[in-house]
Structure 1
Amino acid sequence: MTGSDGALGRFLTLADVAEILNVSAGQAYGLVRSGELPAIKVGGGHWRIERDRLEDYIAAKYEESRRSGLWRQAEFTDVPELFIDR
């Protein structure tokens, strides 16, 4: 759904989302159906995802990855101290 200037509009199709995330259309649909990616159904059952909601989803995934990395890093920081023979 591109405008005259070539930029995508406020709402994206599942195909747009799949392209942006570099996933299949089925995977994009799965994100919507699971509620992980908020979307609305318009017209004859066509899903639309607001660009801002997609950006929020992407930001949340980056944060999730960052926290997971920190957790894994912290998880092993104190391990040697636990197993030191005294």
Structure 2
Amino acid sequence: MQGMGEAGESCPFEFNFDEKAFKVGDTVSYRVNGSLEGFPFVGTLVEVHDEYVLIAGDPQDPTKHYRGTRESRPLVDYNEI
């Protein structure tokens, strides 16, 4: 996300990239496969499990949650979107 704004402008988000330390409320950068591959997304962890996380990533619908892998940048399946 660095370098996407004006010169000298830094990212307005503070991400947790340590999947071992994920906790509810953390802001994460997540990825989506399929036609959205390569685009960065921002979400908030609402559940953290051993094998996956649930991410609130739709600002228009805060009740919509995406299931993602538990890794430094969770991967969400395009079918979830």
Q: Same fold (TM over 0.5)?
A: no
TM-score bucket (shorter structure): under 0.3
Q: TM-score, normalised by structure 1?
A: 0.25
Higher-helix-fraction structure: 1
Of structures 1 and 2, the larger Rg is shown by: 1
Bigger proportion of residues as strand:
2
TM-score, with length taken from structure 2: 0.26
